[in-house]
A = this chain, B = another copy of it.
């Protein structure tokens, strides 16, 4: 995808949070940069500060922790979604997990440094503050649902819900990653799938 198309996708993707008129867009876009990840390449690794907030124009990534030498996948992001090691990016602290491309992935990026400059730019500050606020609020709502699922639902119920709301994910992501995401082991997910099929 060429940069122009990526910018278009980005503009469209963030329209739910904030819209720029053409004049503002012209000021805004020079603060953006572009990058891509080949399959299995890492965007973020444990112990390093994450300097970018990204919008995925193509591809998919997984977020995972390493615990006792084992990888545990906690989340995924796909095209037209935002991606970052958010906590590390916001707090400027070493990241505690990994973000790895599951497919060939293309990104539009905002560096932390550029973000700060925009927050000091008289013509952008208010809009960027709002942008940041609305993104954060959006993610809080997602997190709220995710925590609620862990507290109120059994693994099987979480699986059934996922199968209902995002069936396609099973065609795209290896099942053992999804198992981790649901908070169970791959073996257990395999059993749940068999169980729920028979019913």
Does A90 reach chain B (CB closer than 8 Å)?
A: yes
Contacts of A72 in B (CB 8 A): 151-152
Stretch with Cβ within 8 A of B (4 or more), from A38-46, A106-114, A133-141, A159-167: A133-141
Q: Please, how many angstroms separate the alpha-carbon atoms of A80 and B115 in the complex?
A: 30
Would you list which residues of chain A between 52 and 97 have a CB under 8 Å from chain B? Answer: 65, 67, 72, 74-75, 86-87, 90-91, 96-97
Pick from B74, B140, B146, B148: contact of A136, CB below 8 A.
B140
Q: A129-B133, A180-B151, A181-B151 are in contact. Are A140 and B67 (CB under 8 A)?
A: no
Does A130 reach chain B (CB closer than 8 Å)?
A: yes
Contacts of A183 in B (CB 8 A): 150-151
Does A32 reach chain B (CB closer than 8 Å)?
A: no
Does A5 reach chain B (CB closer than 8 Å)?
A: no
* Number of chain A residues close to chain B: CB under 8 A: 33
Does B148 contact A65, Cβ atoms closer than 8 Å? yes
Does A147 contact B146, Cβ atoms closer than 8 Å? yes
Say how far A183's CB is from chain B's closest CB, in angstroms.
5
By beta carbon, the residue of chain B nearest A91 is B141
Contacts of A148 in B (CB 8 A): 65, 74, 96-97
Contacts of A96 in B (CB 8 A): 148
Does A87 contact B140, Cβ atoms closer than 8 Å? yes
Does A13 reach chain B (CB closer than 8 Å)?
A: no
Pick from B129, B140, B143, B150: contact of A130, CB below 8 A.
B129
Q: Please, how many angstroms separate the alpha-carbon atoms of A143 and B139 in the complex?
A: 10
Does A144 reach chain B (CB closer than 8 Å)?
A: yes
Pick from B129, B130, B143, B152: contact of A144, CB below 8 A.
B143
Q: Please, how many angstroms separate the alpha-carbon atoms of A8 and B164 in the complex?
A: 49
What are the 9 closest A-B residue pairs judged by CB atoms, nearest first? A136-B136, A143-B143, A133-B133, A129-B129, A150-B150, A74-B151, A132-B133, A87-B141, A136-B137
